[in-house]
Amino acid sequence: MSALNVKKIGIIMNGVTGRMGTNQHLMRSLVPIIEQGGIPVGDDEVIMPDPVLVGRNPVKLEALALRSGIDNWTTDLDSVIANNRYSVYFDAQTTDRRVPSVSRAIEAGKNVYCEKPTALNTDEALSLYRKADAAGVIHGVVQDKLWLPGLVKLASVRDSGFFGEIISVRGEFGYWVFEGDVIKAQRPSWNYRKEDGGGIIFDMFCHWQYVLENLFGGVKSLSAIGKTHIRERVDEKGETYKCTAEDSAYATFELEGDITAHFNSSWCVRVRRDDLLTIQVDGTKGSAVATLRDCRIQPYSATPMNIWNPDIDSPINHYDAWSKVPDTQMYENAFKIQWELFLKSIHENRPFHWDLFKAAKGVQLADLGLESWKKRSWVDVPDLEKGVN
């Protein structure tokens, strides 16, 4: 057997000490890829990530290096951007820092891969796409929920024709994020400060855009309202601060194909449902409910005959008439799957499907959600113009 040909791809991991950068992108994606021996791209060839951990806090970086087994780290972003060893720049910083850092990487000729949202407004998100396209670099955005096992199963149910005509989609997302006084908060304090790029509309509408477009149809119009239900929280230093960004959002979307979708997104909700995210799809021939990892279906022929009578306990257990969609494959971490796809695009020198233009569409939906809330009205979603010669 011939020796493996290992193709190293140098990756600048900027903002990797943050919650998402550490957990999803490093420890659950790149470290497992390295530990599995790389990404096979042929009988005798593998892609091997060669990351450098970048951040502003050397103490956190050193601790993360020890934890991950990746001892290559620095606080000097300029030095690694100038280093030809690294052909990929990845950004998991707070959103308000993303545009200038990604722009510098593009100008240096780096391929770029970003967390979402890629910017805090549509114009800046489009500008990033146009810069990357003009520079001829390969570029992508994280759209992880497309590879969640529950949504993969939901897509297969859709493709089988199970639903008949899809009528509506209802999404429930969220959980209680503790305020930080009595119990430590599970999310960083910047999420609740608008001036730092916080707010659930920008955080989640970018997700709902690509989920809806890929599973059901593009968004044509929307009506949204945001709320700041918790007015004060306690930050990482134990100091009380005013919440200036919305912690909950309630939105209705009109989709292509005359489908109505409604999504509730909240960090102020206690969960009494199957999972932190549930998406119910109702069609003329059947319905399905997808969670992060599972999907259950109820066909027309197994739909109970419900009769409204509030004077007696329901004779029907409404959970019983649903069947679980079986696992048909091994499901890996969704972030890891997309990392492997992106690195294969780099290796093959071809455009990445989930690119910065698709990222801009997510930012656009968030922008329009804020506009709808401000105007207290429905707003249409216009087609974005790529604007690249």
pLDDT reported for residue 42: 85
Q: Which fold has domain 146-324?
A: Dihydrodipicolinate Reductase; domain 2 (3.30.360)
Give span(s): CATH 3.30.360.10, the chain: 146-324
Nearest to residue 31, comparing CAs of 13, 19, 15? 13
Q: Residue holding tokens 């599995």? A: 36
Residue 389 has pLDDT above 60, yes or no: no
pLDDT score of 387:
78
Q: What pLDDT is recorded for position 1?
A: 44
DSSP codes, 67-130: HHT---EES-HHHHHT-TTEEEEEE-S-GGGHHHHHHHHHHTT-EEEE-S-S-SSHHHHHHHHH
SS3 16: coil
Is the alpha carbon torsion for 138, 342, 126, 14 positive or negative?
negative
> CATH 3.40.50.720 in the chain, residues?
5-144+334-356+363-372
Tell me the CATH class for 5-144+334-356+363-372.
alpha beta
Cα–Cα dist 212/209, whole Å: 5
C-alpha to C-alpha distance for 104 and 5, rounded to whole angstroms: 32
Q: What is the pLDDT of residues 25-71, one digit of tens each?
A: 999 999 999 999 999 998 899 999 999 999 999 999 999 999 999 99
In this predicted structure, what is the pLDDT of residue 388?
Answer: 57
- What tens digit of pLDDT does each residue of 225-282 get? 999 999 999 999 999 999 999 999 999 999 999 999 999 999 999 999 999 999 999 9
- For residues 170 and 237, give the distance between their C-alpha atoms in angstroms, rounded to a whole number: 38
Tell whether the model's pLDDT for residue 178 goes beyond 60.
yes
H-helix or E-strand spanning residue 50: strand 45-54
CA distances from 379 to 129, 310, 364 (A): 24, 39, 12
Average pLDDT over residues 117-133: 97
* Residue 360 pLDDT level (bands cut at 50, 70, 90): very high
Query: Which phi and psi (to 5°) does residue 142 adopt?
Result: -70, 125
Q: What pLDDT sits at residue 86?
A: 98
State residue 2's pLDDT score: 59
> What integer best gives the mean pLDDT of the chain?
96
